Structure 1
Amino acid sequence: MLRVEDLRAGYGSSQVLAGIGFAIGAGEVVTLLGRNGMGKTTTVRAIMGLLPACGGQLRGGRVLFAGQDLAGQPPHRVARQGIGLVPEGRQVFPTLSVEENLTATAANRAGGAPRWTLPEVYRLFPRLAERRRNLGAQLSGGEQQMLAIGRALMTNPRLLVLDEATEGLAPLIRAEIWAVLARLRQEGQAILLIDKTLSAVMRLADRHVVIEKGRVAWSGSTEALAAAPELRETYLHV
């Protein structure tokens, strides 16, 4: 489904990505792991066409999605191919209601009968139904993250990308979001995930890509990662 090949990118004179490569198949959950500043978010920005808006430049490589090279394409064209983003920092529309946030960019990128409609998102996140008339700015951080996930699902994406899925959230909210992601996995939703909660991502994901200084330092299955404590200590400090 998604294949990233020799991705190189940076900001000004700084080279952040120095040849990243990995792939995600249909229905797979894959994580990007690594310490802060190693290039995880820059990788997501490069995939989504967001680097120029963040002062960065794509300097080489390919982002193949369903056979089409999206490298260097603007974000709206990437989204139309069926990649839904839950960005770092949530970035909900603060002056729109919950319902308006959910419907503002709704689409059916996967084709066929849409899986995710407003009632289905409300069933997934009952708290959003309770607050459907509240403005985005009136929600807690956890509620905003639920809204950001629901908004991405409302595009009916073929691939869901989450950058820092549970960062800064209360434990009960984190648990609820992990349960939702587990349900999405069971339903066959392909997911690319960044999160620092290693125990949770190891329960959820099929494979992991560890990034160190803009390169892939290691990649493999959850079983292989669990069996390599020295790798976790070296690259993840756990």
Structure 2
Amino acid sequence: MLLVEGLQASYGDSRVLFGIDLAVARGEVVTLLGRNGMGKTTTVRSIFGLLRPAGGRVSVNGRDLTAAAPHLIARAGLGLVPEGRQVFAPLTVEENLIATARGSGKAKWTLDKVYRLFPRLKERRRNMGDQLSGGEQQMLAVGRALMTNPALIVLDEATEGLAPLIRDEIWSCLRHLKDEGEAILVIDKNVDALIRFADRHVVIEKGHVVWSGSTPELVSTPDVKTRFLQV
């Protein structure tokens, strides 16, 4: 579904990505792992057209979308939960969700379904985006992405800065999405939580893929976590 081949990216004269390869199939959960500053968010920005790649290829369902405009990436079926949530502060919860809604009356994700997934959002539906807690904002960011009815949802730092109980709620949500058959690419530092439901993992270090494999392979290779994921 999503295929990234040899992705390169730079900020000015500084090269950040050096040939990133990753793929996400339909219904698959893949993680992108690595310490801070290793290129995870740059990879996401390059996939979504927020940063023009310096080389490589990004394709969705066989369609080459390398360096396409972000709105075309979204129309192709990619939904983003960005780092820092970036909810629309001047809008209510419900307006945030409706603002990104896409699909016909038979759309899989509707306002009612998002409210069933996150009952707290329904309770706060008339609150403004900047009146929510960090956890509520993350729920809203996930719900907003789902309202685009994506073929693949990408979460950049899925639980960063959230309290343990809220993190557990987000993990429960992602497991539910997997059960619903959603394809997910997720970035997060909580490896132990990710291996409970993710299918495959891609580890990057200084802009290079240094390891990739299945969850059983990651569990059976503890030195990967020690060498590339621990601070």
**TM-score, normalising length: structure 1:** 0.95
Q: Could you tell me how far apart the structure 1 residues matched to 2:34 and 2:223 are?
A: 14
Whole-Å separation in 1 of the counterparts to 2:88 and 2:131 = 11
Deviation at 1:112, TM superposition (A): 8.7
- Given the alignment of the two structures, is residue 128 of structure 1 paired with residue 121 of structure 2, yes or no? yes
Which of 208, 214, 217 is residue 224 of structure 1 equivalent to?
Answer: 217
User: Which one-letter code corresponds to 1:116 in the other structure?
Assistant: W
Partner secondary structure for residue 58 of structure 1: coil
- Aligned-partner Cα distance in 2 for 1:177–1:147: 11
2:66 aligned with 1:71, yes or no?
A: yes
- Distance in structure 1 (CA, Å) of the matches to 2:105 and 2:66: 27
Gaps of 5+ in 1: 52-56
The aligned residue for residue 101 of structure 1 is 96
What is the distance in 2 between the residues matched to 1:112 and 1:99? Answer: 18
What amino acid maps onto 1:88 in structure 2?
A: E
* 2:107 pairs with one of 114, 128, 151: 114
**Pair 1:86 & 2:81 matched:** yes
* Amino acid paired to 1:181: L
Q: Which residue of 1 aligns with 2:193?
A: 200
Return the offset for 1:105.
1.3
**Aligned equivalents of 2:147, 2:223: Cα separation in 1:** 40
User: Could you tell me which residue of structure 2 aligns to residue 25 of structure 1?
Assistant: 25
Supply the AA of the counterpart residue of 1:129.
K
Equivalent position of 2:151 in the other structure = 158
Post-superposition shift, 1:10? Answer: 1.1
Partner of 2:132: 139
Amino acid at match of 2:215: T
Q: In the alignment, which residue of structure 2 is the partner of 1:43?
A: 43
**1-structure distance, mates of 2:187, 2:217:** 19
Distance 1:112 1:68 in 2: 26
Give the distance between the partners of 2:61 and 2:6, measured in 1 at CA. Answer: 18
Any unmatched runs of 5+ in structure 2? none
Give the deviation of 1:232 after TM superposition: 1.1
CA distance in 2, matches of 1:30, 1:113: 28
Q: Secondary structure at the match of 2:195?
A: helix
Amino acid at match of 1:161: V
Aligned residues: 231
Give the secondary-structure state (helix, strand or coil) at the position aligned to 2:53: strand
CA displacement, residues 151-187 of structure 1 (integer Å, 9 cap, x when unaligned) = 0000110000000000000111111110010000011
Q: Post-superposition shift, 1:229?
A: 1.1
Report the AA paired with residue 55 of structure 2.
G
| SS of aligned partner of 1:93 | coil
Deviating 4+ runs (over 3 angstroms): none
1:113 CA displacement: 2.5
TM-score relative to the length of structure 2: 0.98
Instruction: Supply the AA of the counterpart residue of 1:220.
Output: G
- Offset of 1:13 from its aligned partner? 1.2
Match of 1:16 in 2: 16
Let me know the Cα RMSD of the aligned residues.
Answer: 1.1
SS in 1 for 2:8: strand
Q: Does 1:58 find its partner at 2:18?
A: no
Alignment match, 1:54: none
